[in-house]
Structure 1
Amino acid sequence: MNARIFVGDTRFDAIAANDRGVAYGDGLFETMRAHRGDVPWWDAHWARLRSGAERLQIELPQASMVRREAVDLLAGDDAILKLIVTRGSGGRGYAPDMDAPATWIVSKHPLPPDSPDSGIAVRWCETRLSVQPRLAGIKHCNRLEQVLARAEWNDPTAIEPYAVEGLMRSAEGDVVCATAANLFVLREGRWLTPPVDRCGVAGICRAWVMGATGAAERRLDVTEVETADAVFLCNAVRGILPVAKLGGRAWPLHPQVVALRDRLAEAHPGFAA
């Protein structure tokens, strides 16, 4: 079995029917790229998980136990590791049981296919992200907005069926991210990325890129993205994804993006060619 389920320190065969993660999305998750059975960015992922748990007032399981189970499950492989932590079971209704032990699940998944070196095509999504500062930045389990956005181009008759990712705006119209990645644009010689103080996820790879490039946070509109000198997406599973096409705009592979991908491969061996 490629998943292990625990409530507190006790292993179970299934998730409880009244688990609040299932009922309400009351939980958090991390999706990590493992290299040879270990997770190079484990500490960063756990720090974000801990920050989210503090925000939601969920008591995390012991970090040492989670990592031990994760490494055992990975069995030395290159893979994707997913960790879900929910508030656990708490009866019917929205009021949480603050004393319930958390449910946590580690699961192992195949690596995604490699993206073309020349870059990917993206499109604009019609689905907007709600503005909710209390949930902004954390990776909570309710991702229905992203699900709806990603479903927009499952139809082969869609306007842009070639797109492999979609860019999302907030309900107020500013550009925030892709459905499953953060966004960076190069303008006037400087890298910029949208802030995640009102919606969006503070990505682990995003944090690395900001440190590596000195990128600044700035609210961006559609025109500023479409007229940028270079655009890329990033996340902790696929690394840096250069954007080659967005609507009628096409970008050649920018040398700064090539250099940044090389630096990422040095920082995380899972992204080495």
Structure 2
Amino acid sequence: MTDTLSLYYSASGEQQAVVPDSAFEYGLLETMRADRGSIPLLQLHIERLTRSANLARNTQCRIAESLGAVAARTQHWAHGARLRLRYGSVSTDTVLSPHWDISAFPLEVPSPWDNGVLLGPCDTRLSEADTRSPFSDSDANSCIGSVQSDHMGCKLLDRKTYDLAANEWRFPAFCSAGGPLLEPLLCDPDGFAIEASRSNLLILRDGCWRTPNLGRFGVRGVMLRWLAGQVEIGDDDISLSELQVADELAVCNSVRGVVPARLLSVHRSPSGMSVTPNESIPVMPGPAVSALQQRISEKLW
């Protein structure tokens, strides 16, 4: 009988459930895809977690082995699995203790990502703290210019800024069922586009792929890193106006791969917001996005 129930695992072995995110005083998050019983990007996820959390070698190996074991349990799941790894500190009897756990969920089909993505620009701005590791040296981080690169670009369990951005788009439906998925688009304090709430940005202009500069703001995504080893991707400051005139636009993450995107055409006024009628039309991939999707299909899943 095919097992399609969610799985939960921790350092103590298989669990019936895991503690809520709110139980963590602070922590890091890795979200990854399992396909046919393995995690294609496992090594890159472990590398990011290791640099973000200063993991000891034995902890790194234990987590990697556990992820492999959980993924193997999903090999007969029809459409693969989404794995969620949390690593951080949990308060137990007023004492902070290291804690990690893994949750595995069946990938849904059809997926809301199947019809592409609409990028909804947000007023919420990213700060450096949103993606700085909670395991970094707080004294060093208090000095301008002394933040270690390894502790930036991390994916934190604390998602307050991303939740605020998502709340900007909790309006009555502006696209029909079967239309593209809305992804809040976050910018840095200067208004340059950085990332979507669950994905990195890719912009094609004059035959060249570019992505926002993630030196100070935003998550340095695992899928983005893998893609940069496959095709040339430059990084630069990217304005919202550049997204509007891109030859092709896409988002990427390690669960969904590369998904075609377009910037949401919306007008905000004191009386409310209006959206152009074509926003309910699915976003179709152009030839360059299709080429990236094909490469993922051939090499990852």
TM-score range, shorter chain: 0.7 to 0.9
1:215 CA drift (Å): 0.5
Change (3 A) 1:223 1:245: closer
Mapping for residues 5-154 of structure 1, pairs under 5 Å: 5-6=9-10, 8-9=11-12, 22-23=22-23, 25-54=25-54, 62-71=62-71, 73-74=73-74, 76-77=76-77, 78-89=80-91, 92=94, 97=96, 100=97, 102-112=98-108, 113-114=110-111, 119-132=116-129, 134-135=132-133, 136-154=152-170
Contact 1:52 1:140 (8 Å CA) reproduced: no
Q: Determine which structure has the larger strand proportion and give its number.
A: 2
The residue matched to 1:257 in structure 2 has which SS? helix
Change (3 A) 1:39 1:10: closer
* Cα offsets for 1:133-181 (capped at 9, x unmatched): 7443111111111112122223216699965212110123211000100
**In the alignment, which of 205, 214, 224 is matched to residue 232 of structure 2?**
214
One-letter identity of the residue aligned with 1:207: R
- Aligned match of 1:4: 8
Structure 2 alignment gaps of length 5 or more:
134-151, 266-275
1:12 CA drift (Å): 6.2
- Taking structure 2 as the reference length, the TM-score comes to 0.73
One-letter identity of the residue aligned with 2:51: S
Change (3 A) 1:72 1:221: same
Tell whether 2:294 aligns with 1:259.
no
Q: Identity over aligned residues, as a percent?
A: 29
- Taking structure 1 as the reference length, the TM-score comes to 0.80
* Cα offsets for 1:97-122 (capped at 9, x unmatched): 5xx3x212211112143467774322
- Separation in 2 of the partners of 1:191 and 1:66? 36
Structure 1 alignment gaps of length 5 or more:
none
1:198 CA drift (Å): 1.3
Change (3 A) 1:91 1:114: same
Over aligned residue pairs, what C-alpha RMSD do you find? Answer: 3.2
- Separation in 2 of the partners of 1:190 and 1:68? 36
Contact 1:174 1:219 (8 Å CA) reproduced: yes
Matched residue pairs, number? 256
Change (3 A) 1:120 1:63: closer
- Separation in 2 of the partners of 1:162 and 1:256? 19
Deviates more, 1:66-75 or 1:102-111: 66-75
